Amino acid sequence: MSPIQQHILELRKQLNEHNYNYYVLNRPTISDRDFDFLMKELEQLEQLYPEFDDPMSPTHRVGSDINKSFTQVEHIHPMLSLGNSYSVAEVEDFIRKAKAGLTGQTMEIVGELKFDGTSISLIYEHGRLLRAVTRGDGVRGDDVTANVKTIRSIPLQLAGSDYPDAFEIRGEVLLPWEAFNRLNEQREKDGEALFANPRNAAAGTLKLQNSAEVARRGLDAYLYHIIGDNLPSDTHWGNLQAARSWGFKISNDIRILNSIEEVDDFINYWDEQRKQLPVATDGLVFKVNNLNQQLNLGFTSKFPRWAIAFKFKAEQALTRLVSVSFQVGRTGVVTPVANLDTVPLSGTMVSRATLHNEDFVRSLDLHLGDMVYVEKGGEIIPKITGVELERRTPESVPVSFVTHCPECGAELVRDEGEAAWVCPNKSGCEPQLIGKIEHFAGRKMMNIDSIGGETAQLLFKSGLVRNIADLYSLTREQILSLDRFAERSAQRLLQGIEQSKKVPFERVVFALSIPFVGETVAKKIARAAGDIDRLMGMTIDDLTSIDDIGPRIAESVVGFFADEENRRIVERLKSAGLQMAIERKAASSEILAGKSIIISGTFDYHSRDEYKAIIEQNGGKNVSSISKNTDYVLAGHNMGPAKLEKATSLGITILSEEDFLSLIGSAPSSAGEQAEQSASAGKPEDAENPIMPDLFSMLD
């Protein structure tokens, strides 16, 4: 190695150490001036000797001004969220259940702060940061490596040598309060919209196109979860300590807790102390420390059973109720909404709050002009929790509920035993008609992705689509006559509509907007009926004999199909060629026997978990990394380019979703049926089989 190269490496090492001291330890050992001096020297040397440049050099943390759009990357392990708890009792219950699942073993819990930022997955190979990906939809996220490289507390090159060759580390990217306030002050001066809270600011910053601006904003990151083979310790705690020694910022506030009493103390301590922290937190996280125990506990379909989040009690704000508006939803339910004097609450500006229904308004005995307490229910939608009666003025009037629909003027009805007032004008009330079109096109329903709220409105107001059946007679010329559409977008809409004809019957039933029929109920009634004619002919007794279907849902379904207009719409959907029956085929085959199949990307007809189940049902094996032994890649949308290239270079057959379904000789709905059956065998509720097999591989 030449002396110049050696010097460059030495400078990088020093600068990395100083970065670490400054950004991770908060203990700088040199002045900023001296730091800049070293940095300049390195920059000059790298310019003079470009052959020794390295994209991981600390000089590259300043970011670039080049605009780029993000590519989507599939997560190696899905990024799950945590189950929430809101009381000490719920946390205790979680601990008791976890212990019961580990018969007789002693169990340590690690208590951590729950940082309120945006989650990130970092992939390291041979000690270098390879890729940084946002959570996205949990299966795939945005590749934000360039922006993450500007976060100085994230090491580009790890220290030490005892790290695994390849591993993933997850954590939270956040904007400390100080940087957040500075950013908002600047935005105010520049006349730009303010960020509501540090979480939004961090998430927004991470998605900026200009990484130099990202670098300026001062993001930080705490890491809290390592996944990989050959980890140095068999405990979560041990691995976090090791990660700290490799240069990651690991919170100093993590604690091993040995008893429920220690857990309670930890909660009580942080409930108060968190207000002193330099970063936003919205709760605590409790994790089973031992990785084998984590493995034994496994996952529910959504969350690990070895960890739980505890959410701090929401902060309250006091503000004035100015007026009440009434919103009409897709099923005609009228919801009262409070308009408030804008007030800051847990970092956001609140000016509206839901009032749920008439009974809620009455129970608070709300008067216009009242001073009311506002809280963030479940963090997102603010709600009113009380009235400051002493500040009520004598002339104030009680809030009264509207008697007529604010949109169409029809007289509202409220069925006995129901909390909601409903506009009965199903076929003439605009927000209901538009809402139904939007719902029908939704991702979990017919998945016509070019139709969102605005397009539904546009289609409706133009008169082209007055109900969901009209979608299937739209022509290219009609769509092109609309303002927002050009050739390509029209084509996409038509394709989306055409594709929707393959959506399984269960989802068609969900898409119909039958009151009280959500995704799960739709599946149950669709399967019990078998086809639309039988469903339409079902009586209240037939329906209530299905598991979990009570009289309220049954009446709603019968009422829906008794309506002439709904029957006409269903007939038209049938003639348009939608799937109107469950297709029951053999539940399994050996077509894929001996075949190793990789699933990559996102899909139209089934979820990834369903495809895993389908592969297994047909004798195949779902594998997670490509090798020469892989037989097929089941490629959905946005398959990662690296995977595609590797698969192509190894000569592996790439199957589209349709190719795959026809290979196994299955219409989409029959495949769904198989998937459902096998998935339910491993469902978390199933006490015999507490671990979901396909998620188990996450910990491989």
Residue 699 interacts with ligand IVH (CB under 6 A)? no
Min. distance of Cβ 263 from ligand IVH in angstroms? 15
DSSP assignment, residue 485?
-
Paired residues of 114 in beta bridges: 283
C-alpha to C-alpha distance for 590 and 588, rounded to whole angstroms: 7
Min. distance of Cβ 80 from ligand IVH in angstroms? 5
Min. distance of Cβ 624 from ligand IVH in angstroms? 17
Residue 82 interacts with ligand IVH (CB under 6 A)? yes
Helix (H/G/I), strand (E/B), else coil: 115: strand
Paired residues of 257 in beta bridges: 109
Residue 348 or 385: which CB sits closer to ligand IVH?
Answer: 348
Residue 5 or 81: which CB sits closer to ligand IVH?
Answer: 81
Min. distance of Cβ 151 from ligand IVH in angstroms? 16
Please give the residue whose beta carbon sits closest to ligand IVH in the complex: 119
C-alpha to C-alpha distance for 388 and 401, rounded to whole angstroms: 21
Task: Indicate the residue type of 278.
Answer: P
Residue 115 interacts with ligand IVH (CB under 6 A)? yes
Residue 672 interacts with ligand IVH (CB under 6 A)? no
Residue 504 interacts with ligand IVH (CB under 6 A)? no
Helix and strand counts by DSSP (H, E) for the chain: 26, 21
State the Cα angle at 590 between 592 and 678, rounded to 5°: 90
Helix (H/G/I), strand (E/B), else coil: 539: coil
C-alpha to C-alpha distance for 302 and 304, rounded to whole angstroms: 7
Paired residues of 352 in beta bridges: 339
Contact 665/591 with Cβ under 8 angstroms? yes
Residue 680 interacts with ligand IVH (CB under 6 A)? no
Note if 114 is an active site residue. yes
Residue 279 or 456: which CB sits closer to ligand IVH?
Answer: 279
Cβ atoms < 10 Å from Cβ of 186: 12
C-alpha to C-alpha distance for 215 and 153, rounded to whole angstroms: 12
C-alpha to C-alpha distance for 308 and 326, rounded to whole angstroms: 37
Burial class (CB in 10 A: 0-12, 13-18, 19+), 404: middle
Helix (H/G/I), strand (E/B), else coil: 633: strand
- Which residues, in sequence order, are CB contacts of 468 under 8 Å at separation 6+? 436, 437, 440, 511, 512, 569, 573
- Candidate residues 142, 168, 172, 609; the one interacting with ligand IVH per rule CB under 6 A: 172
Tell me the backbone φ, ψ of residue 248, rounded to 5 degrees: -80, 150
Tell how strand 596-600 and strand 632-635 pair up: parallel
Residue 23 or 224: which CB sits closer to ligand IVH?
Answer: 224
Interface region with ligand IVH, contact rule CB under 6 A, candidates 107-115, 175-183, 517-525, 587-595: 107-115
Min. distance of Cβ 11 from ligand IVH in angstroms? 34
Interface region with ligand IVH, contact rule CB under 6 A, candidates 303-311, 413-421, 533-541, 683-691: 303-311
Residue 614 interacts with ligand IVH (CB under 6 A)? no
Choose the catalytic residue: 13, 97, 114, 302: 114
Min. distance of Cβ 685 from ligand IVH in angstroms? 20
- Candidate residues 45, 80, 402, 699; the one interacting with ligand IVH per rule CB under 6 A: 80
C-alpha to C-alpha distance for 226 and 48, rounded to whole angstroms: 39
Residue 246 or 270: which CB sits closer to ligand IVH?
Answer: 270
C-alpha to C-alpha distance for 444 and 605, rounded to whole angstroms: 10
Paired residues of 321 in beta bridges: 340
- Residues 4-63 close enough to bind ligand IVH by CB under 6 A: none
Residue 70 or 224: which CB sits closer to ligand IVH?
Answer: 224
DSSP assignment, residue 255?
E
What crossing angle do the helices spanning 430-441 and 453-461 adopt, rounded to 10°? 130
Min. distance of Cβ 226 from ligand IVH in angstroms? 11
Min. distance of Cβ 623 from ligand IVH in angstroms? 22
- Candidate residues 158, 307, 497, 517; the one interacting with ligand IVH per rule CB under 6 A: 307
- Candidate residues 46, 74, 112, 657; the one interacting with ligand IVH per rule CB under 6 A: 112
- Candidate residues 81, 327, 575, 648; the one interacting with ligand IVH per rule CB under 6 A: 81
**What is the token pair recorded at 526?**
């669709």
Residue 224 interacts with ligand IVH (CB under 6 A)? yes
Residue 285 interacts with ligand IVH (CB under 6 A)? yes
Min. distance of Cβ 93 from ligand IVH in angstroms? 18
Residue 304 interacts with ligand IVH (CB under 6 A)? yes
Start-to-end CA distance of the chain, whole Å, equals 39
Q: Find where tokens 């739209």 sit.
A: 474
Interface region with ligand IVH, contact rule CB under 6 A, candidates 79-87, 325-333, 403-411, 460-468: 79-87
Residue 168 interacts with ligand IVH (CB under 6 A)? no
Residue 297 or 508: which CB sits closer to ligand IVH?
Answer: 297
- Residues 308-367 close enough to bind ligand IVH by CB under 6 A: 309
**What is the token pair recorded at 357?**
């229904």
Where on the phi/psi map is residue 558: left (φ > 0), alpha (ψ -120 to 50), or beta? alpha
How many residues can be counted in the chain? 700
Min. distance of Cβ 178 from ligand IVH in angstroms? 20
Interface region with ligand IVH, contact rule CB under 6 A, candidates 99-107, 109-117, 508-516, 645-653: 109-117
Helix (H) or strand (E) holding 311: strand 307-311
Interface region with ligand IVH, contact rule CB under 6 A, candidates 23-31, 93-101, 304-312, 575-583: 304-312
Give the footprint of ligand IVH on this chain (CB under 6 A): 80-82, 112, 114-115, 119, 172, 224-225, 285, 304, 307, 309
**Positions marked active-site:** 114
